[in-house]
Amino acid sequence: MLINNSKKIIIKLGSSTVVDSRGKFKKKWVSSLIKDIKNHRFGKNFVIVSSGAIALGQKYLKIKKKKIKLEMSQAIAAVGQIHLAGEFQKLFDKYKIKSGQILISPDDTEQRKRALNIRNTFDNLFKLNAIPIVNENDTTATSEIKYGDNDRLAARVAQIIGADTLIILSDVDGLYNKSKKIVKTVNKIDEKIYSLVDKKRNNYGSGGISTKLDAAKICMNSGCHMFLANGKKEHPLSKMFKKKMFTHFIPKISSLDARKKWIISSLSSSGIIFIDKGAASALQNGKSLLAAGITRVKGTFDKGENVLIIDNKGNQLARGLSSFKSSEIDKIKGKQSKEIEKILGYLGKSEIIHKDDMVKL
């Protein structure tokens, strides 16, 4: 069984998996999960990514409203997160397992230096034999800088820490096909798979199937297996593997190094660079992106930020780290590299995105 061969396993719990319909933390269910983890723990490192801060905060503060303004939900999450972490800690203590809380903001994963830093924090928690319990830092996240769903957050963490398995426990048995049967395995996320997305959403979770597919894409590019399974019943891990009830997203065999995996799995598309036919074929031949081939730039981004490169037909060709900020690219687009110094007033790099900083999609 795959879980036996995995060394780093992330378990992502949706809000409705850990919080019941009355807004209470599901102690019995979480205890059964911890027992499952304990049974499989030998030689492995587990991580929990749990939602539920806002749901628990609402219960504690007696706020029923479904639509809550972002500023208020930040405050509610602050109240709820302390309860969420406290509930986990009490239960892990009961089973004599150490745990630690990690709250993550998009900057922590989308800036390479900080991503390496959180990887170290996870590694050190593993050295301490403690299970990291992760959530988004909802209290500081504004709508522009927010993952908003823990599915993609969990996948990005999986990529950064080099996890081999991500198990998403939610309120569905897996991904259903058009005849309402569970798709057992997925090898590629394409239009056909996206057409299976059911627009229905549950009470608390902000994800739905669509963010689970986005998460699967990140995992598959990073060499991490992803399972989507039902977390309604107790002992969810032993049940899912005994009954073989899940959708298994199988990763591609990737020859990319860790840095390129990080570039391709970026969550933020701070900007888009549109390029002409000539530049597109240069890119396909493994060349860097020069200013001459750029036709348009969209969005505001800084030097070093992750941008998407799109050709004149709208095809997403590559992702890469820009060596110039968007306002500079706007001035030098279509120009020869030797003209850049005169236009910008300083001698920058001759490539807009160097081939080493770029991954083809």
The SS3 assignment for 182 reads: strand
Min separation Cβ 14 and ligand GLU, Å: 6
Judge whether 296 and 139 are in contact, CB under 8 Å. no
10 Å CB burial of residue 234 (0-12, 13-18, 19+) is: middle
326 touches ligand GLU by CB under 6 A: no
- Sign, Cα dihedral of 218, 224, 226, 232: negative
Among 51, 74, 222, 323, binds ligand GLU (CB under 6 A): 51
205 touches ligand GLU by CB under 6 A: yes
- Of residues 139 and 254, the one with the C-beta less far from ligand GLU: 139
**Rounded CA gap, 26 and 22, in Å?**
10
Smallest CA-to-CA distance from 48 within 144, 159, 169 is with 169
Residue 138: phi, psi to the nearest 5?
Answer: -60, -20
- Of residues 135 and 221, the one with the C-beta less far from ligand GLU: 135
Smallest CA-to-CA distance from 359 within 273, 260, 272, 290 is with 260
Among 6, 16, 105, 150, binds ligand GLU (CB under 6 A): 150
**How many helices and strands (H and E) does the chain possess?**
15, 13
Among 6, 58, 109, 135, binds ligand GLU (CB under 6 A): 135
208 touches ligand GLU by CB under 6 A: no
- Of residues 149 and 351, the one with the C-beta less far from ligand GLU: 149
- Of residues 132 and 205, the one with the C-beta less far from ligand GLU: 205
140 touches ligand GLU by CB under 6 A: no
16 touches ligand GLU by CB under 6 A: no
Min separation Cβ 58 and ligand GLU, Å: 9
List the structure tokens of 312.
Answer: 């004149």
Tell me how far CA of residue 195 lies from CA of 190, 191, 203, 230, in angstroms. Answer: 9, 6, 23, 21
Residues 184-203 that bind ligand GLU (CB under 6 A): none
- Of residues 54 and 118, the one with the C-beta less far from ligand GLU: 54
- Of residues 87 and 136, the one with the C-beta less far from ligand GLU: 136
110 touches ligand GLU by CB under 6 A: no
Min separation Cβ 153 and ligand GLU, Å: 7
- Of residues 135 and 288, the one with the C-beta less far from ligand GLU: 135
160 touches ligand GLU by CB under 6 A: no
Q: What angle do CA 27, 153, 253 make, to 5 degrees?
A: 115
**Rounded CA gap, 23 and 28, in Å?**
14
- Of residues 154 and 310, the one with the C-beta less far from ligand GLU: 154
164 touches ligand GLU by CB under 6 A: no
Buried b (16+ CB within 10 A) or exposed e, 320-348: bbbbbbbebbeebbeeeeeebeeeeeeeb
Binding track over 77-106 against ligand GLU, x by CB under 6 A: x-----------------------------
Tell me how far CA of residue 187 lies from CA of 197, 225, 254, 318, in angstroms. Answer: 17, 10, 13, 21
- Of residues 55 and 209, the one with the C-beta less far from ligand GLU: 55
Buried b (16+ CB within 10 A) or exposed e, 203-222: ebbbbbbebbbbbbbbbbbb
Stretch that binds ligand GLU, among 22-30, 205-213, 244-252, 269-277 (CB under 6 A): 205-213
Among 10, 18, 30, 54, binds ligand GLU (CB under 6 A): 54
Stretch that binds ligand GLU, among 2-10, 29-37, 167-175, 204-212 (CB under 6 A): 204-212
How many C-beta neighbours within 10 Å does residue 153 have?
Answer: 27
Judge whether 23 and 80 are in contact, CB under 8 Å. no
Which residues lie near ligand GLU (CB under 6 A)? 15, 51-55, 77, 135-136, 138, 149-150, 205-207
